[in-house]
Amino acid sequence: MIVDDHAEMRTFIRSLLGGIAQEFVECGGGEAAVARFASELPDWTIMDIRMPGVNGFVATRQIKAQFPEARIVIITQHDNPKLRDLAAEAGATGFLSKEELTRLNDIITGSASAIGISNQ
């Protein structure tokens, strides 16, 4: 599942992961992601932080409350330790700045650990 309010970013992420994923579910916001998660049960969720309405931290917390095994990588344009801490508190599996998105493939295939979250 790719959750970002910008269609261009969803397309970019889909192109990055096209070699390892057969199906993609796209959501334009956190509220839609929470609503669709139960019916889709994605293997991984790539979740932007800043979106109108329900942001990525809130959506991650809500998904993880119902599905503790959910693997969610938080992505953001603004990388800083505070955001990484908030991602960890929300239950994210990993955290990447949008400048590091090329590492998504390695995280999902298991050739790199889900980086950036100290307590995971």
* Closest listed residue to residue 56, CA positions, set 83, 16, 23: 83
Quote the tokens at residue 41: 């049960």
User: In angstroms, rounded to a whole number, what is the distance separating the alpha carbons of residues 65 and 91?
Assistant: 9
Task: Considering only the C-alpha atoms of the chain, give the largest distance between any 2 of them, rounded to a whole number of Å.
Answer: 34
120 has a pLDDT exceeding 50? no
Interhelix angle 81-90/56-66, nearest 10 degrees: 30
Predicted pLDDT of residue 103: 87
Which has more pLDDT, 9 or 20? 9
User: In angstroms, rounded to a whole number, what is the distance separating the alpha carbons of residues 86 and 47?
Assistant: 13
4 has a pLDDT exceeding 90? yes
Domain ranges of the chain: 2-109
Strands 72-76 and 45-48: parallel
How remote is the C-alpha of 34 from its chain's centroid?
Answer: 12
How remote is the C-alpha of 83 from its chain's centroid?
Answer: 14
The CATH superfamily holding the domain 2-109 is Response regulator (3.40.50.2300)
Which has more pLDDT, 115 or 58? 58
